[in-house]
Amino acid sequence: MGLTERINKTDKLSYYEGQIPIEYVYTYGLGLEKFFRAIKDQGKFLASTCKECGVTYLPARSFCERCLVKIEGTTAVPGTGTVYSYTTVHLNMDESPKKEPALVALIDMDGTDCRFLHYLTGVKADKVKVGMKVKPALKAKKDRKGHIEDIVGFQPS
Amino acid sequence: MAYQKVAIVGAGITKFVRRAQETGKELAFQASKMALDSCGMTIDDIESVSLGTAPDAFDGVHMKGEYLSDGSGGWRKPYMRQFVGGGTGVFAPIHGWLHVASGMFDTCLVVCSEKMSSCYPHPQGAFKTIFDHTTEQALDPTLIWIFALEMNRFMSTYGITKEEIAQVSVKNKKNAMDHPAAQLPMEITVDDVMNSETLAWPVNRLDISPASDGAAAIVLASEHASKRITDKPVWIDGVGWNLDTAYWATRDLSYPRYVEKAARMAYDMAGVVEPKREIEIAEPYDPFDYKELHHMEGLQLADRGKAVEMLLDGVTQRDGDRPMCPSGGALGVGNPIAATGLMKVIEIFLQLRGEAGKRQVPGSPRCGLAQAWGDLMQVGTVVVLRR
Ligand SMILES: [Zn+2]
C-alpha cells in the first residue's frame, strides 16, 4: 500500500519484462448515460431517487443498491455543495512531483445523499475549509464531450 | 454452537522485503513449509487449502489463484483463492475456518502470498483500476487521495493533529525492530514523520507503509485433530466480515462502520460482551498511521475520537495495558497486501502462546484479535483468538 519507492535497481537480480496488451471501451450504462448527456447538452446535474428508501443518488443510477429495486426517472439538482474533506496532492501517478500541488475535495452535493470527488479551482490551499460552499465550473458547451472532465472543478460560491 | 472448534496449530512467515528474488510461488512455498514444519506436519496431513492473494494486476497473471497453487500446497487438493484487497489476509483464515468449522475437513493450510514489486514502475498503476472508470479514473486519482481525504476528515471531526497521529508510526516502526521479518524497522521521532515529504496533505511519507514482497501461512485443525498436533492450540473463537458501499466517496469517512459490523459479528460468535475489557491485545490494520486509531474505534476498543488518548497515554505501547500492533504492523513489518493480515493473525497466535520472543507483551493475554481492511477501502475482516 505504500506508494513511495520507485523501483530502479534491478541490476542485482535477473529479470525480464512483460506487458498486458489490452485497452478498454466502457459504456456509460443506463444510469450514467442520462447523467453525462445532461451535463454535455444542458449543463445540468441529474440525480435519481429510490422510491423505496428515499435515497437520492448523484450521478443518477438505474437501481438502488440498498433496496435492490429499479429506479425510474431523474431530477435535476443544482450541482452546488459543501466541502466534506480535501487534500493537496503533491505527486503525479508516477511519483514525480507536480509543478503546483493539486487541490482535490470530496463535496457533499446539495439535494442528494452523495458526494463528488473532484478538483477545487479558483481558490488557494490555505483558504480551503471543511464546510466551505462550492459550485461547479463547467467547460464551455462547445468543448463538452459528455465526460467527467466536462466539469473543470468546483469553486467557492 | 453447531460448528467444529477450529485451532491454529502452526505458523510460518518469510521476511518482508521491497523486491524479493523469489517468485510469488516460491514465497508461498517458503511460508507454507515453515508453517507445516513448525507443527511437525507434511502436506499429506492437509485436507484443504485456502489461498489469499490480492490483485491479479500485481503479477499481470489473470489467474493468480491457480498461479500460486503449487507453492501453496494446492496440488490435487480442494483449493480456494480468496480476495478482498487489503482485507484478504484475515479473509483467507476466515475461509479456512469455514472449511474446518463446517466439518468438511479436519485440517486446512491457509497461505497468503504477495509480490508487489513485479509491477513497474510502481503498483500505483494497478491501484488506479480500483477507481470507477467513468467518474473517477479520468481525474488521475491515486490511492493516497482516498487516505488523505479520510485522514483529513478524521482529524477535522475530532480535532486530532498530525503530530498526535504520527506517534502511531513512531510506535509501530519501533516495535518492528524486534520482528525478524521486518522490512522497515526504525527508531524515529514525531519530527521525522512531520518533516518527511508531503505526498498528499495530511499524508507524509513516514505516515504510510511500504510496498512489499512476502508470504505468511498458518495451519488450522479441528479440536480432535489438534490433539495429535499440539498441546498449545490457539482457538479461532469468532470470525466476522462486512462490506460497505463501493461508492467510497459517499461513506462516512470519520468512522469505519463496516469494521464495526465485522467486529460485532465476530464478538457475538466468540461471546465477547465488553470488547474494551475482554480484548487484551490487538493487531488493527495499519497501512497508514491514522488507520490504527480509526480501526480501534470501529473495533469498539476505543470510543469515537478517543483512540488517540489511549495512544498518547501509552496504553497501546507493547508494555501498555492494551498493546496495539506489537508486531510492528504494516508500518514497520511491511505491507505485502494479503500477507500483512495473516502476519497480524500470526502475531496474536504467538503472543497468546507466549512465543513472541522479544516482542512478547506482559500479562499472559488470553484473548486477542486481528483485523484487516481493503477492497475499495470498505471491507472489514476480523478474527477473535483465545488460548
Ligand atoms: Zn432504495
A-chain CB neighbours of B338 within 8 Å are: none
Q: Report the gap between the CA of B219 and the closest CA in chain A (Å).
A: 26
- Contact in structure between B96 and B32 (CB atoms under 8 Å): no
Among chain A residues, CA nearest to B125: A93
Contact status of B337 with chain A (Cβ, < 8 Å): yes
List of residues 6+ apart from B215 with CB closer than 8 A: B13, B14, B24, B27, B28, B30, B31, B111, B112, B113, B114, B336, B339
B31-59, pLDDT tens digit by residue? 999 999 999 999 999 999 999 999 898 89
A-chain CB neighbours of B139 within 8 Å are: 104, 117-119, 148-149
Query: Please, is A14 exposed, middle or buried when counting C-beta atoms within 10 Å of its C-beta (0-12, 13-18, 19+)?
Result: exposed
Task: Give the residue extent of every domain in chain B.
Answer: 6-120+210-386
Cβ contact (<8 Å) for A26 and B134?
yes
What is d(CA B385, CA B387) in angstroms, rounded to the nearest whole number?
7
Query: Please, is B32 exposed, middle or buried when counting C-beta atoms within 10 Å of its C-beta (0-12, 13-18, 19+)?
Result: buried
Fold of A29-156: OB fold (Dihydrolipoamide Acetyltransferase, E2P) (2.40.50)
Nearest by CB: A148 against B19, B125, B134: B134
- Contact in structure between B284 and B87 (CB atoms under 8 Å): no
Q: Is residue A148 over pLDDT 50? A: yes
Reduce the secondary structure of A96-110 to three states and give it as a string: CEEEEEEEEEEEEEC
Q: pLDDT at position A95, please?
A: 80
Q: Is residue B233 over pLDDT 60? A: yes
B-chain CB neighbours of A147 within 8 Å are: 138
Contact status of B152 with chain A (Cβ, < 8 Å): yes
Tell me the longest C-alpha to C-alpha distance in chain A: 62
Position B1 confidence tier, pLDDT thresholds 50, 70, 90: low
Q: pLDDT at position A11, please?
A: 59
Interface test with A, best of B17, B67, B114, B134 (most A CBs within 10 A): B134
Q: pLDDT at position B17, please?
A: 94
Angle made by CA atoms B166, B171, B177, in degrees to the nearest 5: 130
A93-105, pLDDT tens digit by residue? 878 899 999 999 9
ipTM: 0.91
B-chain CB neighbours of A59 within 8 Å are: 135
Q: Which residue has the higher pLDDT, B19 or B171?
A: B171
Q: Is residue A8 over pLDDT 70? A: no
CATH class of B6-120+210-386: alpha beta
A43-96, pLDDT tens digit by residue? 999 999 999 999 999 999 999 999 999 999 999 999 999 999 999 999 888 788
CB within 8 Å of chain A, chain B residues 194-253? 197-203, 205, 208-212, 245, 247, 249-250, 253
B367-376, pLDDT tens digit by residue? 999 999 988 8
What's the mean pLDDT in B75-103?
Answer: 97
User: How many of the other CB atoms lie within 10 Å of CB of B53?
Assistant: 30
DSSP secondary structure code for residue B251 in this structure? S
Q: Is residue A3 over pLDDT 60? A: no
- DSSP notation for B54-91: --GGGTT-TTHHHHTTTTTT-TTS-EEEE-BTBTHHHH
Residue with cell 480442494: B78
What's the mean pLDDT in B273-277?
Answer: 98
Closest CA to B371 of B306, B314, B327, B332: B327
Q: Is residue A114 over pLDDT 60? A: yes
Q: Is residue B312 over pLDDT 90? A: yes
What is d(CA B337, CA B341) in angstroms, rounded to the nearest whole number?
8
List of residues 6+ apart from A8 with CB closer than 8 A: none
What's the mean pLDDT in B147-153?
Answer: 97
Q: What percent of chain B has a predicted confidence (pLDDT) above 90?
A: 89
What's the mean pLDDT in B304-313?
Answer: 98
Q: Is residue A1 over pLDDT 50? A: no
